[in-house]
Structure 1
Amino acid sequence: MSQVNLAELTGYSKQQINNWINRQHIVGVMGLEALRTIAEALHLDSPYELYEMNKVPSKALPSPEEATSD
């Protein structure tokens, strides 16, 4: 999913999404409400899954379409 797509789904600006992605080493950069919004847009069960996703190479992750094709 592109940053533009995520911005459209969440209502956050592309610039804000980009800042979160590129400044992820800074603790507390993203609030819990933002985590929840993004997790919901990505169809995750918990915002904490975002941290787990960060540990896996992106090509190993399913696309949003694959993740919702139950």
Structure 2
Amino acid sequence: MTDAGGVNRVVARTLGYGEVEMTHVGGNVYRAVLGPFNDTGELSILIRAWDNAGNGATSGPLTITVVCIG
């Protein structure tokens, strides 16, 4: 995630599970921990970011598969 004026905030938004603040790891990399999840199956994730001027942009949806281990 990059912006010439600086990135102010990044969140991962999932249907049914809400929104999680993403942490800036370094460079243009952000990280979020999602879960726990009640069900297995596909999960769609939208990434929403705002720059320092307050402009927002959305990426996705990204689709992942949630599985039960054990």
The answer to which structure has the higher strand fraction is: 2
Q: More helix by proportion, 1 or 2?
A: 1
Whichever of the two has the greater Rg, that structure is 2
**TM-score, normalised via structure 2 length:** 0.21
For normalisation by structure 1, the TM-score amounts to 0.21
